[in-house]
């Protein structure tokens, strides 16, 4: 039996100070889907993402990754299957060279020698950064560092790639290059973004998380074209942008 990549059911969570961030979130992501997670600031998007690999937990409801419940006994497997690329690539790059950064996760998981070298080379090839393997990450452009951050996650061979604002601070060329890379990957993608045109370009499906619940789930084009729905949840398209005029991702 093939399980969905991600199943979230009745997920509710409150922080120790009493702030209730999630009130009962339900959705399923099938293998290979690319899904945008949209919503205003404070909607609970980060809280939700941190439940996907067990960084946060202890509330109500369940999260399953490829059929595995996200709980302590499964953390090692879950964290190999769910790769999170943070908004700031410098949060993930800390080694002297690009190659060492990409090797860090697989090496910590026990890979050595030729197998480790092959895993690193493949990940760098997939993001177009193989020629920079010996460069210090801080000598790279922001867009290049973001691609290396993606490679550090791909080196772990995840089933689900979670991207936090992947297009932020990228120039148009870097934005396009990253989009091409993401379209080429054979993984499930959950993309948290305020960049609504980028969501439409890359993700056929979108969820709106608002006030701690899923307020909408459907085709990205349909959601972005629903002005009333967008207005209710403080989402706005760039001036002049018509989602119906753009081919879906």
In CATH terms, the fold of domain 6-245 is: Rossmann fold (3.40.50)
Q: What is the mean pLDDT of residues 171-199?
A: 93
* pLDDT tens per residue across span 119-133: 999 999 999 999 999
Residue 51 CA to residue 48 CA, distance in Å, equals 5
With bands split at pLDDT 50, 70 and 90, how would you rate the model's confidence at 247? low
With bands split at pLDDT 50, 70 and 90, how would you rate the model's confidence at 1? low
Check residue 235 and give its pLDDT: 94
With a cut of 80, say whether residue 87 has pLDDT above it.
Answer: yes
**Which 3 state secondary structure label does DSSP give 197?**
helix
With a cut of 80, say whether residue 249 has pLDDT above it.
Answer: no
* Sequence spans of domains, the chain: 6-245
With bands split at pLDDT 50, 70 and 90, how would you rate the model's confidence at 192? very high
Hey, how many other C-beta atoms are within 10 angstroms of the C-beta on 65? 28
Whole-number mean pLDDT of the chain? 92
The token pair at 153 is 């996650």
With a cut of 90, say whether residue 244 has pLDDT above it.
Answer: no
Whether 181 and 16 have beta carbons less than 8 Å apart is answered as no
* pLDDT tens per residue across span 164-175: 999 998 999 999
* pLDDT tens per residue across span 9-32: 999 999 999 999 999 999 999 999
Residue 143 CA to residue 200 CA, distance in Å, equals 21
The token pair at 96 is 């002297």
């Amino acid at each position: 039996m093939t399980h969905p990549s991600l199943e979230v059911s009745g997920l509710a969570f409150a922080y120790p100070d009493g702030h209730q961030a999630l009130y009962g979130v339900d959705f399923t992501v099938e293998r290979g889907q690319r899904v945008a997670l949209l919503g205003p600031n404070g909607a609970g998007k980060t809280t939700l993402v941190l439940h996907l690999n067990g960084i946060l937990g202890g509330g109500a409801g369940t999260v399953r990754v490829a059929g595995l419940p996200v709980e302590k006994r499964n953390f090692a497997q879950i964290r190999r299957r769910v790769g999170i690329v943070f908004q700031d690539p410098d949060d993930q790059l800390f080694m002297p060279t690009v190659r060492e950064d990409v090797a860090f996760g697989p090496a910590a998981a026990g890979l050595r020698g030729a197998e480790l070298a092959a895993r690193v080379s493949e990940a760098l090839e997939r993001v177009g950064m193989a020629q920079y393997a010996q460069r210090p990450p801080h000598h790279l452009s922001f867009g290049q560092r973001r691609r290396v951050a993606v490679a550090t996650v791909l080196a772990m061979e995840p089933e689900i790639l979670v991207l936090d604002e992947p297009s932020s601070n990228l120039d148009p060329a870097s934005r396009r290059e990253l989009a091409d890379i993401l379209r080429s990957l054979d993984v499930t993608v959950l993309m948290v973004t305020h960049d609504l045109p980028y969501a439409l370009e890359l993700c056929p499906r979108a969820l709106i998380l608002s006030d701690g619940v899923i307020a909408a789930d459907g085709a990205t084009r349909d959601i972005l074209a629903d002005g009333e729905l967008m207005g209710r949840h403080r989402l706005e398209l760039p001036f002049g942008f018509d989602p119906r005029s753009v081919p879906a991702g």
